[in-house]
Structure 1
Amino acid sequence: MTDRAPRAVFPPSSRIRTTGDFERAYNSGLRAGDAHLLIFASVNGTQRTRVGLSVSRKHGGAVQRNRKKRLLREAFRHCAGRLPAGLDLVLVPRQRPDSCLRDFCNSLPALARRLARRIPSQDDAPGTG
Structure 2
Amino acid sequence: MNQQDDRRFGKEKRLLQSAQFDRVFAGKCSAADGILVVYIAANDGLGSRIGLVVSKKVGNAVRRNRWKRRLREAFRVQQGRLPHNCDLIVIPRAAVEPPFERLCRSLVGTAKRARKKLGQRGA
Q: Per the shorter chain, which TM-score range?
A: 0.7 to 0.9
Deviation readout 1:68-123 (Å, 9 max, x if unpaired): 001100100110011111110000011231423222200111111112222247x8
Q: Which has the higher contact order (CA 8 A, sep 6+)?
A: 2
Give the letter aligned to residue 6 of structure 1: Q
Q: Which residue of 2 aligns with 1:22?
A: 21
Determine whether 1:6 maps to 2:4: yes
Residues 41 and 88, structure 1, Cα contact 8 Å, conserved in 2 = yes
1:72-91 matched pairs, under 5 angstroms: 72-91=71-90
Structure number with the higher helix fraction is: 2
Q: Which residue of 2 aligns with 1:127?
A: none
Q: CA deviation at 1:5?
A: 7.5
Any unmatched runs of 5+ in structure 2? Answer: none
Q: Aligned partners of 1:117, 1:108: CA distance in 2, in Å?
A: 14
SS in 2 for 1:70: helix
TM-score for the superposition, normalised by structure 2: 0.88
Q: Aligned partners of 1:61, 1:119: CA distance in 2, in Å?
A: 34
> What do you get for the CA RMSD once the two structures are aligned?
1.9
Residues 36 and 103, structure 1, Cα contact 8 Å, conserved in 2 = no
Q: 1:96 to 1:60 in 2, by over 3 A?
A: closer
Instruction: Quote the sequence identity (%).
Output: 34
TM-score for the superposition, normalised by structure 1: 0.84
When Rg is computed on C-alpha atoms for both structures, the one with the higher figure is 1
